[in-house]
A and B are shown apart, each in its own frame.
Chain A
Amino acid sequence: MKALYSLFLVFALAAIALVGAGALGMERTFGLYIPFLAAAVFVVGFCWRVVQWGKSAVPFCIPTTCGQQESLPWIKQSTIENPSTTTGVVLRMLLEVLLFRSLFRNNKPQLYSDTRVRYASSKWLWLGALAFHYSFLIIFVRHMRFFTEPVPAFIRGIESVDSMLQIAAPTLYLTDLIFITAVTYLFLRRVVVPSIRYISQVQDYFPLFLILGIGLTGIFMRYFAKVDIMAVKELTMGLVTFSWKVPQGIGVIFYVHVFLVSILLMYFPLSKLMHMGGVFLSPTRNMNCASRKFRHINPWKFENVHYHTYEEYEDEFREKMVEKGLPVEKPL
Chain B
Amino acid sequence: MSTLPRPEELYANINHTPPKTDWMDVPVDIKPGRYCYAANPESLNYVGFPHARKWNPLDEDWKLPENWKEIIFNGIRERLDKYRSFKVFMDICVRCGACADKCHFFIGSGDPKNMPVLRAELIRSVYRGEFTTFGKLLGKFAGARPLTEQVLKEWWYYLFQCSECRRCSVFCPYGIDTAEITIMGRELINLLGLNIDWIATPVANCYRTGNHLGIQPHAFFDMIDFFCDDIEDITGIRPEPQFNKKGADILFVTPSGDVFADPGTYTCMGYLILFEYLKREYGLDVTWSTYASEGGNFGFFTSHETMKRLNSKIYMEAARLGVKWIIGGECGHMWRVLHQYMDTLNGPEFQSPNMIVPTNPITGTVFQHAASTKMIHITEFTADLIKHGKLNLDKSRNAGIHLTWHDSCNTSRGMGLFEEPRYIARHVVEKFTDMPPGTIREETFCCGGGAGLNAGECEELRMMGGLPRASAVKYVHEKYGVNMLGCVCAIDRAVLPGTMKYWVPEVSVCGLHELVGNALVIPGEKEREVNLRGEDLPGKEDE
Binding site for B on A (CB under 8 A): 5, 49, 52-72, 74-76, 78, 81-82, 84, 96, 100, 102-103, 105-109, 111, 115-117, 119, 125, 129, 193-204, 270-272, 274-275, 278-279, 281-285, 289-298, 300, 302-303, 305-310, 313-314, 316-317, 320-321, 323-324, 326-327
Is the pair A313, B82 in contact by a Cβ cutoff of 8 Å? Answer: no
Report how far A293 CA is from B343 CA in the complex, Å: 9
Among candidates B23, B107, B316, B442, residue contacting A307 with C-beta atoms closer than 8 Å: B316
Is the pair A103, B173 in contact by a Cβ cutoff of 8 Å? Answer: yes
Is the pair B312, A115 in contact by a Cβ cutoff of 8 Å? Answer: no
Is the pair A96, B173 in contact by a Cβ cutoff of 8 Å? Answer: yes
CB distance from B157 to the nearest CB of A (A): 18
Report how far A63 CA is from B48 CA in the complex, Å: 31
The answer to whether B96 has its CB under 8 Å from any CB of chain A is yes
Is the pair B94, A204 in contact by a Cβ cutoff of 8 Å? Answer: yes
Report how far A70 CA is from B141 CA in the complex, Å: 47
Among candidates B7, B8, B14, B173, residue contacting A111 with C-beta atoms closer than 8 Å: B14
The answer to whether B503 has its CB under 8 Å from any CB of chain A is yes
The 8 A-B residue pairs whose C-beta atoms are closest, nearest first, are A69-B416, A278-B92, A284-B175, A65-B416, A285-B175, A198-B18, A56-B84, A320-B218
Among candidates B85, B217, B338, B416, residue contacting A326 with C-beta atoms closer than 8 Å: B217
Is the pair B171, A102 in contact by a Cβ cutoff of 8 Å? Answer: yes
Is the pair B95, A57 in contact by a Cβ cutoff of 8 Å? Answer: no
Is the pair B380, A72 in contact by a Cβ cutoff of 8 Å? Answer: yes
CB distance from B386 to the nearest CB of A (A): 11
Among candidates B8, B166, B372, B423, residue contacting A295 with C-beta atoms closer than 8 Å: B372
Report how far A59 CA is from B370 CA in the complex, Å: 20
Collect the chain B residues with CB atoms within 8 Å of residue A292's CB: 338-339, 343, 369-373, 375
Among candidates B18, B23, B91, B170, residue contacting A274 with C-beta atoms closer than 8 Å: B91
Find the residue from A103, A289, A307 having the highest chain B CB count within 10 A: A307
CB distance from A47 to the nearest CB of B (A): 15
Report how far A295 CA is from B341 CA in the complex, Å: 10
Known: A72-B384, A116-B471, A195-B112. A105 touches B443 (CB 8 A): yes
Collect the chain B residues with CB atoms within 8 Å of residue A81's CB: 416, 442
Which A residue sits closest to B141, measured CB to CB? Answer: A202
Binding site for A on B (CB under 8 A): 7-8, 11, 14, 16-19, 23, 48, 80-89, 91-98, 100-101, 107, 112, 115, 117-118, 121, 132-134, 141-143, 166, 169-177, 180, 207-210, 216-218, 221-222, 243-246, 290-291, 304-305, 308-309, 312-313, 316-317, 320, 338-341, 343-345, 347-348, 365, 367-373, 375, 380, 383-384, 387, 412-420, 423, 436, 438-439, 441-443, 467-468, 471-472, 474-475, 503
Known: A57-B81, A65-B413, A115-B8. A272 touches B95 (CB 8 A): yes
Report how far A203 CA is from B344 CA in the complex, Å: 38
Report how far A305 CA is from B346 CA in the complex, Å: 13
CB distance from A282 to the nearest CB of B (A): 4
Known: A102-B171, A278-B91. A300 touches B82 (CB 8 A): yes
Report how far A3 CA is from B140 CA in the complex, Å: 14
Among candidates A293, A308, A323, residue contacting B313 with C-beta atoms closer than 8 Å: A308
Is the pair A282, B305 in contact by a Cβ cutoff of 8 Å? Answer: no
Is the pair A199, B117 in contact by a Cβ cutoff of 8 Å? Answer: yes
Which A residue sits closest to B308, measured CB to CB? Answer: A302
Is the pair A61, B80 in contact by a Cβ cutoff of 8 Å? Answer: no
Is the pair A119, B439 in contact by a Cβ cutoff of 8 Å? Answer: yes
Report how far A100 CA is from B171 CA in the complex, Å: 10
Report how far A67 CA is from B384 CA in the complex, Å: 20
Among candidates A55, A67, A125, A296, residue contacting B98 with C-beta atoms closer than 8 Å: A125
Find the residue from B81, B91, B369, B439 having the highest chain A CB count within 10 A: B369
Find the residue from B87, B166, B208, B245 having the highest chain A CB count within 10 A: B87
Is the pair A194, B96 in contact by a Cβ cutoff of 8 Å? Answer: no
Is the pair A67, B442 in contact by a Cβ cutoff of 8 Å? Answer: yes
Is the pair B372, A293 in contact by a Cβ cutoff of 8 Å? Answer: yes
CB distance from B151 to the nearest CB of A (A): 16
Report how far A313 CA is from B8 CA in the complex, Å: 50
Collect the chain B residues with CB atoms within 8 Å of residue A313's CB: 209-210, 291
Report how far A105 CA is from B413 CA in the complex, Å: 15
Is the pair B344, A298 in contact by a Cβ cutoff of 8 Å? Answer: yes
Collect the chain B residues with CB atoms within 8 Å of residue A69's CB: 369, 415-418
Report how far A283 CA is from B171 CA in the complex, Å: 15
Collect the chain B residues with CB atoms within 8 Å of residue A108's CB: 101
Collect the chain B residues with CB atoms within 8 Å of residue A309's CB: 316
CB distance from A199 to the nearest CB of B (A): 5
Collect the chain A residues with CB atoms within 8 Å of residue B96's CB: 103, 125, 129
Which B residue sits closest to A6, measured CB to CB? Answer: B141
Is the pair B291, A310 in contact by a Cβ cutoff of 8 Å? Answer: yes
CB distance from A152 to the nearest CB of B (A): 31
Collect the chain B residues with CB atoms within 8 Å of residue A316's CB: 208
Collect the chain B residues with CB atoms within 8 Å of residue A75's CB: 383, 419-420, 423
Which A residue sits closest to B468, measured CB to CB? Answer: A117
Which A residue sits closest to B89, measured CB to CB? Answer: A282
Which A residue sits closest to B383, measured CB to CB? Answer: A72
CB distance from A111 to the nearest CB of B (A): 6
CB distance from B168 to the nearest CB of A (A): 10
Which A residue sits closest to B128, measured CB to CB? Answer: A203
Is the pair B92, A274 in contact by a Cβ cutoff of 8 Å? Answer: yes
Is the pair B369, A293 in contact by a Cβ cutoff of 8 Å? Answer: yes
Is the pair B84, A281 in contact by a Cβ cutoff of 8 Å? Answer: yes
Is the pair A61, B305 in contact by a Cβ cutoff of 8 Å? Answer: no
Q: What are 17 sample pairs from A and B whose C-beta atoms fall under 8 A apart?
A: A55-B81, A61-B344, A65-B414, A71-B380, A72-B387, A75-B420, A102-B173, A105-B443, A109-B107, A116-B474, A274-B91, A284-B176, A291-B339, A295-B372, A297-B344, A308-B208, A310-B291
Report how far A324 CA is from B288 CA in the complex, Å: 15
CB distance from A262 to the nearest CB of B (A): 17
Is the pair B92, A279 in contact by a Cβ cutoff of 8 Å? Answer: yes
Report how far A196 CA is from B88 CA in the complex, Å: 22
Is the pair B309, A64 in contact by a Cβ cutoff of 8 Å? Answer: no
Given A64-B169, A199-B97, 19 additional A-B pairs, CB 8 A: A54-B84, A55-B81, A58-B84, A58-B85, A61-B344, A62-B180, A64-B175, A65-B416, A100-B173, A109-B107, A197-B18, A271-B134, A278-B88, A291-B339, A291-B340, A292-B339, A295-B347, A302-B304, A308-B309
Known: A59-B344, A274-B92, A326-B243. A103 touches B98 (CB 8 A): yes
Is the pair B438, A107 in contact by a Cβ cutoff of 8 Å? Answer: yes
Collect the chain A residues with CB atoms within 8 Å of residue B217's CB: 317, 320-321, 324, 326
Collect the chain B residues with CB atoms within 8 Å of residue A68's CB: 416, 418-419
Among candidates A71, A96, A196, residue contacting B97 with C-beta atoms closer than 8 Å: A196
Is the pair A283, B84 in contact by a Cβ cutoff of 8 Å? Answer: yes
Collect the chain B residues with CB atoms within 8 Å of residue A199's CB: 23, 95, 97, 100, 112, 115, 117-118, 121
Which B residue sits closest to A189, measured CB to CB? Answer: B97
Collect the chain B residues with CB atoms within 8 Å of residue A60's CB: 304, 340-341, 344
Collect the chain A residues with CB atoms within 8 Å of residue B112's CB: 195, 198-199
Is the pair A62, B340 in contact by a Cβ cutoff of 8 Å? Answer: yes
Which A residue sits closest to B471, measured CB to CB? Answer: A117
Report how far A193 CA is from B134 CA in the complex, Å: 28
CB distance from B144 to the nearest CB of A (A): 10
Which A residue sits closest to B246, measured CB to CB? Answer: A327
Report how far A317 CA is from B221 CA in the complex, Å: 13
Collect the chain A residues with CB atoms within 8 Å of residue B387's CB: 72, 74
Is the pair B97, A193 in contact by a Cβ cutoff of 8 Å? Answer: yes
CB distance from A10 to the nearest CB of B (A): 14
Is the pair B442, A106 in contact by a Cβ cutoff of 8 Å? Answer: no
Which A residue sits closest to B475, measured CB to CB? Answer: A116
Report how far A62 CA is from B177 CA in the complex, Å: 10
Find the residue from B100, B142, B217, B412 having the highest chain A CB count within 10 A: B217
Report how far A306 CA is from B312 CA in the complex, Å: 11
Collect the chain B residues with CB atoms within 8 Å of residue A64's CB: 166, 169-170, 175, 177, 413-414, 442
Report how far A37 CA is from B36 CA in the complex, Å: 54
